Chains A and B, each alone.
Chain A
Amino acid sequence: MSRITRYLSLAVIYTLLPACATVRGTGDLGVVIERATGSIQIVDTTQHQLLKQVKGLGDLSHATVVYSRDERYAYVFGRDGGLTKIDILAGRIDKRIIQSGNSIGGAISQDGKLVAVSNYKPGGVKVFDSKTLELVADIPAGVGEQRSKVVGLVDAPGQRFVFSLYDTGEIWIADMSNKKPEITRYKDIGRLPYDGLITPDGRYYIAGLFGEDGLALLDLWHPEKGVKRILSNYGRGSKKMPVYKMPHLEGWAMTDDYAFLPAVGRNEVLVVNRRNWEHVTSIPVHGQPVFVMARPDGRQVWVNFAFPRNDTVQVIDTEPLKIIETLKPGKAVLHMEFTPRGEQVWVSARDAGKVTVYDTATLKVIATLPMEKPSGIFFTSRAHRIGL
Chain B
Amino acid sequence: MVRRWQSIISQLFLITGMAVLYNPVYAKDNQIDASNNQPTSLSEQRRAELKDLLLQDCGSCHGMTLKGGLGPALTPDVLHNKSRQMITVTITEGRPGTPMPPWKTILSEQEIHWLVETLYSGVTP
Contact = CB atoms under 8 A, between A and B. Distances in A.
B63 A79 contact: yes
B60 interface: yes
Contact of A308 (B52, B55, B70, B106): B106
A61 B60 contact: yes
Interface residues of A, number: 31
A33 to B, nearest CB: 12
A242 B68 contact: no
A92 interface: no
Interface string A141-175: 00000000101000000000000001000000000
Chain A interface, DSSP helix/strand/loop, else mixed? loop
Contact of B101 (A35, A121, A244, A373): A244
B67 interface: yes
B99 A59 contact: no
A375 B79 CA distance: 29
Contacts of A151: 70
Interface in A247-293: none
B69 A102 contact: yes
A346 interface: no
A338 interface: no
A304 B99 CA distance: 19
Given A62-B69, A242-B94, A246-B61, A332 B56 contact: yes
A194 B99 contact: yes
A245 interface: yes
Interface in A177-229: 192, 194, 210-211
Interface of A: 35-36, 59-62, 79-80, 101-102, 104, 120-121, 149, 151, 166, 192, 194, 210-211, 242-246, 307-308, 332, 350-351, 373
Interface of B: 52, 55-57, 59-61, 63-65, 67-70, 94, 97, 99, 101-102, 106, 125
Given A59-B63, A210-B99, 20 more contacts: A35-B64, A59-B65, A59-B67, A62-B60, A80-B63, A101-B67, A102-B68, A120-B68, A120-B70, A121-B68, A166-B70, A242-B94, A244-B57, A244-B106, A245-B57, A246-B61, A246-B70, A307-B57, A351-B56, A373-B56
